[in-house]
């Protein structure tokens, strides 16, 4: 058979087409792989500021009354080419009248749908190796101030990541120690042992640091600026050194009227609340010993959603039970136990709750409810438990009692809004064993010899004394396995394992 020239060309074309197709698909796959390798973000994306010197950043000021143009002027008077960046969440109103110079930038941090990405990214505007965070109202008296800060920074290189020059004001700058535990949702401030080396500051200061350090923080310019800055830096073990250099303030107090002060204080409070929410900090211990809570309460839903596979959402975030939830659980447990005791219902700490009491006399730090066993035959002794058969009851203290829909047990919720709860599991004795009629799909939900309950023994728990099975070690090892007290583990290690290194 003869192949015509045309047929030959056609065959060749088909073969070439196939080859191209194959090559393109290979290329696509390779690119896909490469793309996957690059999903891990790289800090090489950060712009590297090369120019020597310092950029002034003014971030915190009020729209309705501020001295930002004066602050800018005062720096430019010393050095006309001084780079200055004023950063605001939205376009200030009334408008900020800034000097029209190429080294003075107003940056709006709020994304704009018609603008390219870099426009709202402050790091794109800073070309110098260092930045100085400057509060509103600061007045510069000589070029030496900034230069000396820089000299001091270099002299302390490697030992501190920031240096601070106090701004003379009514309250002196305080050197604080800040310990943040994200796992415990907690920030603890205390007076630093040193007057110079601090991990947080309270008061007004000009803070100088490396540009690449500031913009490598997750949120470099969040407000309140110093609160946000020091939470992030203390988690990186950075320190700030207070210098002898200081700045004066042109206006003391900064805001002229008490109305404006009140307005500013309210805004500061709101931004602090938002910051702690964003950072997941629910309990703050202040340097004066006062405590502030930013978590759930009786009037809010609990801080975590429905628990799947015994693994609450916070464990996946490498966090433990929020401290407000632990407090609410302790309070509910104490309340319920008091009612059981006074109404003559025999109860005992059960399951994970008993385990926590055995380990450290408290709720396990990652647990999300409290379990108590009760004698079924004692239920009629307690009005609330008896009456709840016909529907849930909100008692005089706002706790909600209900018969659980999931099975034959009772549940007492912290409040109507907040569903943190204590579960009551009724058991009855049968041939020397404690048993019940419905079982949950948990290893520890099993029959056990009644002798563990004869007698019940007091055990310190959550700040009070509760009753527990005698010989609780054997009781727990029977239910959970040998060594369970000494070897903590998350409730469902197949889903999330406890990182024992930390
Ligand atoms: C950014 O911070 C991370 C740790 O938080 C560090 O490993 C990395 O080296 C830093 N990058 C730069 C450019 O400093």
pLDDT tens-digit series, residues 447-492: 999 999 999 999 999 999 999 999 999 999 999 999 999 999 999 9
Residue 248 Rama label (left phi>0; alpha psi -120 to 50; beta)? beta
**Tens digit of pLDDT for each residue in 258-315?**
999 999 999 999 999 999 999 999 999 999 999 999 999 999 999 999 999 999 999 9
Write out the two tokens for 237. Answer: 């073990």
Q: How confident is residue 250, by pLDDT bands cut at 50, 70 and 90?
A: confident
Q: Which of 453, 449, 454, 442 is nearest to 491 (CA)?
A: 442
Instruction: Please tell me the total number of residues recorded for the chain in this structure.
Output: 502
Q: Is the pLDDT of residue 363 over 90?
A: yes
Q: Contact, 442 vs 423, CB < 8 A?
A: no
Please tell me what DSSP assigns to residue 117: G
Confidence class of residue 41 from pLDDT cuts 50, 70 and 90? low
Ligand 1: which of 42, 216, 238 to mutate, most ligand atoms within 8 Å of CB?
A: 216
Return the ligand 1 atom nearest residue 48 CA.
13
Q: Is the pLDDT of residue 348 over 60?
A: yes
What is the Å distance from ligand 1's center to 54 Cα?
A: 20
> Which comes out higher in pLDDT, residue 374 or 27?
374
Residue 500 has pLDDT above 90, yes or no: no
For 108-141, the pLDDT digits (tens) are 999 999 999 999 999 999 999 999 999 999 999 8
Atom of ligand 1 nearest to the CA of 46: 13
d(CA 19, CA 419): 63
How many angstroms separate the alpha carbon of residue 45 from the centre of ligand 1?
11
Q: Whose CA is nearest to atom 7 of ligand 1?
A: 43
The residue among 391 and 501 whose pLDDT is bigger is 391
* Mean pLDDT, the chain, integer: 92
Q: Atom 11, ligand 1: which residue's CA is nearest? A: 43
Q: Token match 């409730």: residue? A: 491
pLDDT above 80 (res 40):
no
- Predicted confidence at residue 463, as pLDDT, reads 97
User: What is residue 46's predicted lDDT score, i.e. its pLDDT?
Assistant: 66
Domains of the chain, with CATH numbers?
48-176+195-253 (3.90.550.10), 313-480 (3.30.460)
Among the listed residues 401, 395, 368, 375, the one whose alpha carbon sits nearest the alpha carbon of residue 467 = 375
Q: Which atom of ligand 1 is nearest to the CA of 216?
A: 1
Please give the pLDDT value at position 252.
79
Ligand 1 atom having least distance to the Cα of 236: 5
CA distance 75 to 95: 20
- Of 163, 147, 37, nearest to 29 (Cα)? 37
- Which protein residue's CA is at the shortest distance from atom 8 of ligand 1? 43
Q: What is the DSSP secondary-structure string of 27-62?
A: HHHHHHHHHHHT-S--GGGS----EEEEEEEE----
User: Which residues surround ligand 1 with Cβ inside 6 Å?
Assistant: 43, 46, 212, 216
Question: Looking at ligand 1, which atom is closest to the CA of residue 213?
Answer: 14
Identify the pLDDT of residue 438.
85
Which tokens hold the place of 258? Answer: 């008490």
Q: Say what the pLDDT of residue 397 is.
A: 96
Predicted confidence (pLDDT) at residue 257 exceeds the cutoff of 60: yes
Does 142 score more than 70 pLDDT? yes
Q: How far does the centroid of ligand 1 lie from the alpha carbon of residue 153, in Å?
A: 19
Most informative mutation of 41, 43, 161, 220 for ligand 1 (most atoms within 8 A of CB): 43
| Contact (Cβ atoms closer than 8 angstroms) between residue 199 and residue 240 | yes
Section 414-425 average pLDDT: 97
For the segment 430-449, what is each residue's pLDDT rounded down to a tens digit? 999 999 988 888 888 999 99
Residue whose tokens read 């001084």: 82
- 43 C-alpha to ligand 1 centroid (Å): 7
């Amino acid at each position: 058979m003869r192949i015509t020239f045309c047929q030959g060309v056609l065959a060749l074309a088909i073969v070439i087409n196939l080859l191209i197709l194959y090559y393109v698909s290979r290329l696509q796959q390779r690119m896909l792989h490469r793309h996957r390798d690059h999903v891990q973000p790289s800090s090489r994306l950060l712009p590297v500021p090369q120019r020597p010197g310092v950029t002034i950043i003014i971030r915190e000021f009020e729209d309705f009354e501020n001295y930002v143009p004066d602050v800018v002027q005062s720096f430019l008077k010393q050095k006309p080419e001084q780079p200055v960046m004023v950063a605001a969440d939205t376009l200030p109103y009334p408008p900020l009248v800034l000097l029209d110079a190429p080294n003075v930038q107003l940056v709006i941090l709020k994304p704009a749908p018609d603008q390219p990405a870099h426009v709202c990214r402050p790091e794109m505007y800073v070309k110098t190796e260092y930045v100085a965070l400057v509060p509103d109202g600061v007045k510069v008296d000589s070029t030496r101030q900034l230069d000396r800060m820089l000299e001091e920074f270099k002299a302390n290189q490697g030992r501190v990541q920031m240096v601070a020059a106090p701004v003379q004001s009514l309250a002196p700058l305080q050197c604080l120690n800040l310990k943040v535990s994200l796992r415990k949702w907690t920030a603890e401030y205390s007076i630093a042992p040193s007057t110079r080396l601090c991990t947080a500051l309270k008061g007004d200061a000009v803070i100088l640091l490396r540009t690449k350090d500031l913009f490598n923080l997750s949120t470099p310019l969040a407000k309140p600026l110093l609160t946000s800055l020091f939470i992030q830096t203390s988690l990186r073990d950075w320190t700030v050194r207070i210098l002898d250099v200081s700045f004066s303030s042109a206006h003391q107090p900064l805001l002229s009227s008490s109305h404006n002060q009140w307005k500013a204080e309210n805004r500061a409070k709101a931004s602090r609340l938002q910051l702690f929410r964003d950072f997941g900090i629910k309990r703050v211990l202040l340097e004066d010993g006062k405590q502030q809570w930013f978590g759930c309460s009786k009037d809010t839903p609990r801080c975590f959603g429905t628990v799947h596979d015994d693994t609450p959402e916070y464990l996946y975030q490498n966090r433990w039970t929020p401290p407000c939830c632990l407090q609410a659980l302790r309070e509910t447990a104490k309340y319920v136990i008091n009612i059981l005791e006074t109404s003559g219902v025999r109860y005992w700490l059960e399951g994970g709750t008993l385990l926590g009491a055995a380990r450290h006399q408290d709720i396990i730090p990652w647990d999300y409810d409290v379990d108590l066993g009760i004698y079924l035959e004692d239920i009629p002794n307690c009005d609330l438990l008896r009456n709840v058969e016909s529907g849930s009851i909100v008692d005089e203290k706002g706790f909600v009692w209900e018969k659980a829909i999931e099975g034959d047990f009772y549940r007492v919720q912290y409040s109507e809004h907040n569903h943190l709860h204590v579960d009551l599991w009724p058991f009855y004795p049968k041939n020397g064993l404690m048993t019940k009629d419905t079982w949950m799909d948990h290893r520890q939900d099993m029959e056990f010899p009644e002798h563990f309950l004869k007698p019940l023994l007091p055990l310190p728990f959550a700040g009070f004394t509760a009753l527990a099975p005698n010989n609780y070690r054997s009781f727990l090892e029977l239910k959970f396995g040998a060594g369970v007290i000494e070897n903590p583990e998350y409730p469902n290690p197949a889903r999330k394992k406890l990182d024992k290194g930390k």
